[in-house]
Structures are given as structure tokens and as C-alpha cells.
Amino acid sequence: MPSSKSCNEQTGLSAQRAAVIAELAIASGPRVVTGHDVRAQHANTLTWIASELPDAVVFAESVDDAVKVVRVAGRHRVPIIAFGSGTSLEGHVNAPFGGISIDMSRMNRIVAVNAADHDAVVEAGVTREQLNDHLRDTGLFFSVDPGAANATLGGMAATRASGTNTVRYGTMRDNVLSLRAVMANGEIITTAGRARKSAAGYDLTHLLIGSEGTLGIIVELSVRLHPRLEAEFAAVCEFPSVSAAATCAMESIQSGCCLSRIELLDDVMLRVTASAGAFPASNCGAALFVSVEGTQRAADEHMQIFACLVTAHGGKVAGIAASQSDRDRIWKARHDAFWSLRNSWPGQAYVVTDVCVPISCLATCIAETTVDATRLGLTAPVLGHVGDGNFHAIAVIDPNDSGARGRLDQFLKNLSTRAIAIGGTCTGEHGIGQGKAYAMPGEFGPALDVMRQIKSALDPMGILNPGKIFPKDAPQDVQGAE
């Protein structure tokens, strides 16, 4: 588990770090901030992981700014932590060795929309909502929609993010065509063109996607866009139990039913989500929120097929939203479910788990996880992108309960071990950061050494977001111990 404070917080800045900050301040002026509140905001983990502040924050406004930060910090071997919106959940933006947080949110220009090719070129700080607002009149949209609406596309690529639409449109892995990035040596690379496919050389685009700021700073992305379809329904379906809902989700995917979203909420998550007022509260055991899209005829047909499966599992379609505003209300409520939970139980700590398993194992994995939570005396309501086999059991912990931490650690370990043992992963979408590094050896075995070799080849001094992804990764060369 990470320590609670970076050493620079405890002992003050070294002359060397002060020199880096001074050099950056000469180059970037007021965009270099050393005030405590801004540094704290750039290490806010939103969760149980203690914050570890950077020494300074630089607000990049251009590719040149990013290059400058990498070159100056690199020359002094000071860590650089890329920052998008800070919505990641595993201590990704923490600075365990101090260093420079490079905030990319001001690099938020939409460079080009190539409507005929169904793609767009954007700077890394563009958010998915900003891009979709921009596309409103084009008949196209960008599909990846993590629950945090203000996540940046750079951060989403760096965490290989996904969302409610992934069951139909894929993750960031499927929706990024090419990246422009500043590498650890300050060189700018472009990983590919805008072609839909390429068989040329190593796939650097997909190497950087999911690299969590440890291999390069993404400054620009070419992303795929999708046409909006003629008809869409959204429905809330109620079930007697989580197991019935999960089995229905599994069978609907296996049957080829053409859903564009299928999200599970257990009874607790359903109640707290309903409290926001988007749909009526219900006493059922679980719910599936679904969307079906297509031509009018196809959407009608697939909604009917899905409704038959719901009935077969003892559920009922409680309401169908056909208008855009009703659909938006339902999906906003689902996206805000985490905040609704926090509002319902203020003052608690929240640990959002994120395993993903083969779809045929989903119902059993959720059931075993719930039994384990009860056995360990933990409250851990469940929601998730179940069409992908991905679910979140959100452990709600009383920060004043000293025994809870040990039970929580056991729960987390059991959950990732369970998922990995059945061919799944410890994280479907949130990434590793600091919080899940412990699970990497179990998930990858010797392949983790290959990842380490890639990291050392591309970032030999270990300056890019050190202390993430790899367990106990404290690169020798980084100037951390002051």
C-alpha cells in the first residue's frame, strides 16, 4: 500500500527540484504553480489511496510546452506525471517521488473533424462531452463514455478506458487510430496515420494505450467516430435477484441480441440511483439498464427478443424511454451512480473494484464476490458493464473502523485472484495505477518482465509516472530520496 506523503512534503524541496521549477517558470511563467491547493488537487485520488503531492504543476498549452517539461525534468531526472482531469481511481496521478504534474486540460482544441472518414483529430485535453457537443450537428458521435464525463481523451487513452457503449462500440483500444506523443527523451512521435487498418511495423498506438503516462505524454489523438442510428430505445428492467439479471445479461449477449448498452445495478445501487429522480424507485433485487439501436425495424425486433429473455428470467420491462430526453435522463443517472452512492452515505471511504471475466463466468463471479463480501463483513454494492463481463463491487468502508482495512485487503485480493483464475483480469477499464499493482504478477507472470523491459527501453531513467503499474517500482535513477 502506498505511503501517505511524498518525501518532498516532509522535508521540503531540494535545490535540484527548485532549479527545475525555476527553469520551467522562466519558460512557462504563470503556468507553473507551486501552491499547496493546486498540487493537492492534482493528487486527489477520489478513493481510499492517500494523496501524494507533486512539487509543482505545469499547465501545458501546446506541444512545445510538453516537450519543454519533459526535457527540463528529464535533464534533472525528476518525475513527470501526466494529468488529464484526475478522475482515475487507482492513485494514477499520485506523485510518490514528487516531481512535476503536467496538466493537459488546456490542450483542448478540436483540430479536425473528418466527417467523410468518420474520424476526428483532437488535443489530449479534449473531454468526451466537449467532443460530442462539437459533433452534435454532424450525425456522428464519439462512443467511449466513462462515468466521469469530464475525463480527457488523453487520460482515457492512457487508461484504456471504456464505458456503457463498449458492448457495441468497443473501448479506447478500438476507437483510437493514432497518437502523437512526447517520449521520455523529448522526441515527438506519431504512431500511425488515419487509415482504418495498417500492417506496418510494431503497433505503437496500442502500446501507448493503457500505458498510464509511463511511456510517453500523449498530446494528440485521431479517434473513430460513429454514425447515430435511426432508432434507439432505453429501458429499465427489474429482476428478482442479481443472479437472474446477470444470467439474463449473459444469455442476451450469447444469443447475439444487438444491445448497445447493458448495465447491471443491484438493489442498493438501484435505490441510490433512483434517489436522483430520473426513474421511479423499486424494491426489486436488481435491474438491467439497456439500450437498443438500429433501424426502426431492427431496434423493435431486438427489443422484443430482449424482453422475452427478461421475462424468462423472472424480470419485467419496467419502462421504455423512446424520447431522447428520457433516454438522456436514464443514462445520466447511471453515469452518476457513483456520486449518488457517495451522497447517500457521506463520510465513508469508497473502493471501486473493476474485475472483468469471460461472459459465461459472469453470474457465478458476481455471486461468489457477494458471498465473500458478506463473509468478511463488508458492504459492497454491485454495478457494472455486464455486457462485457465487467462489474464493480464498490466497497463502502468506515474510515474510523481500524479492522476494516485488513478485511478490505483480503476482499480485493480474493476478487482479483478469482477473476484471474477464470481467465479474467483485475481491471476491465480503470487500470492499474498504484492500487492494483499487487495483482500484476498474478495476472501476467513472466510477461510482466517483458513489460518492464519495454519500460526501461523507452524510459531508461524512469522519469515518466514512476511507481505505477509495476509493484514496488522505485527506479534507481529518479531523484526521489531527498
CB 443 within 8 A of CB 425: yes
Q: Is 84 in the site for ligand FAD (CB under 6 A)?
A: yes
Of 99, 282, 97, 123, give the one whose Cα is nearest residue 218: 123
* Pick 264 or 310: Cβ nearer ligand FAD: 264
Kindly state the DSSP code that residue 348 receives in the 8-state scheme. -
Q: Which three cell numbers stand for residue 383?
A: 454495478
Give how far Cα 51 sits from Cα of 260, 371, 385, 399, Å: 37, 31, 28, 15
Q: Does 435 bind ligand FAD (CB under 6 A)?
A: no
Residue with smaller CB distance to ligand FAD, 219 or 373: 219
Residues that bind ligand FAD (rule: CB under 6 A) add up to a total of 35
Dig out the grid coordinates for 41 from the structure. 488537487
Q: How far is CA 261 from CA 130, 307, 310, 421, in A?
A: 21, 14, 15, 27
- The phi and psi torsions of 168 (rounded to 5 degrees) equal -105, -40
Pull the grid cell for residue 370.
Answer: 457477494
Is residue 93 near ligand FAD by the rule CB under 6 A? yes
104 binds ligand FAD (CB under 6 A): yes
Which stretch in 69-77, 211-219, 280-288, 453-461 sits in contact with ligand FAD by CB under 6 A? 211-219
Sheet holding 110-114, edge to edge: 110-114, 119-123, 216-224, 176-183, 188-190
> Which of the stretches 6-14, 209-217, 273-281, 402-410 binds ligand FAD when contact is defined by CB under 6 A?
209-217
Kindly state the smallest distance separating residue 179's Cβ from ligand FAD, in Å. Answer: 9
The yes or no reply on residue 362 touching ligand FAD (CB under 6 A) is no
**Which residues, in sequence order, are CB contacts of 447 under 8 Å at separation 6+?**
none
How do beta strands 56-59 and 100-103 pair?
A: parallel
86 is a contact residue toward ligand FAD (CB under 6 A): yes
Q: Of the ranges 25-33, 75-83, 196-204, 405-413, which one interacts with ligand FAD (CB under 6 A)?
A: 75-83
**Residue 124 engages ligand FAD in binding (rule: CB under 6 A):** yes
Residue 326 C-beta: closest distance to ligand FAD, Å: 21
Residues in region 244-283 near ligand FAD by CB under 6 A = none
x-or-dash pattern for ligand FAD, window 333-352, by CB under 6 A? -----x--------------
Cβ-based nearer residue to ligand FAD, 86 or 475: 86
CB of residue 214 to ligand FAD, shortest distance in Å = 7
CA distance 134 to 320: 28
User: With binding defined as CB under 6 A, does residue 429 bind ligand FAD?
Assistant: yes
Q: Pick from 28, 53, 63, 83 the residue near ligand FAD by CB under 6 A.
A: 83
Query: In the complex with ligand FAD, which residue's Cβ is closer, 327 or 385?
Result: 385
* Side chain identity, residue 146: P
Cα–Cα distance for residue pair 256/107, rounded to 1 Å: 41
Q: Nearest approach, Cβ of 171 to ligand FAD (angstroms)?
A: 8
179 sits near ligand FAD (criterion: CB under 6 A)? no
The answer to the question of residue 51 lying near ligand FAD (CB under 6 A) is no
Q: Pick the binder of ligand FAD from 52, 65, 212, 220 (CB under 6 A).
A: 212
Strands (E), 243-285: 259-266
Binding to ligand FAD, residues 137-166 (CB under 6 A): 146-148, 151-152, 154-156, 158-159, 161-163
For residues 179 and 124, what is the distance between their CA atoms, to the nearest angstrom?
A: 9
Which triple of cell numbers denotes residue 238? 427489474
What is the Cα–Cα distance from 393 to 390, expressed in whole angstroms? 10
If the CB atoms of residues 60 and 303 are measured against ligand FAD, the closer one turns out to be 60
Contact with ligand FAD (CB under 6 A) among 43, 53, 217, 357: 217
Residue in 51, 434, 465, 479 binding ligand FAD, rule: CB under 6 A = 465
Q: Output the nine-digit C-alpha cell for 360.
A: 459465461
Binds ligand FAD by CB under 6 A, chosen from 49, 67, 73, 89: 89
**Residue closer to ligand FAD, measured from CB, 327 or 430:** 430
Question: What minimum distance in Å lies between the beta carbon of 283 and ligand FAD?
Answer: 26
Work out whether 225 is an interface residue with ligand FAD (CB under 6 A). Answer: no
E strands in 23-162:
32-33, 56-59, 80-83, 100-103, 110-114, 119-123, 140-141
Nearest to 123 by CA among 181, 206, 165, 173: 181
Position 462 contacts ligand FAD (CB under 6 A): no
CA distance 443 to 452: 14
Q: Residue 286 belongs to what H/E stretch?
A: strand 286-294
User: Which cell numbers in the block locate residue 205?
Assistant: 498506438
Give the whole-angstrom CA distance, residue 286 versus residue 278: 17
Residue whose CB is less far from ligand FAD, 155 or 424: 155
Q: Which is nearer to ligand FAD, 262 or 310 (CB)?
A: 262
Chain residues binding ligand FAD by CB under 6 A are: 46, 81-89, 92-93, 104, 124, 146-148, 151-152, 154-156, 158-159, 161-163, 212-213, 217-218, 338, 429-430, 465
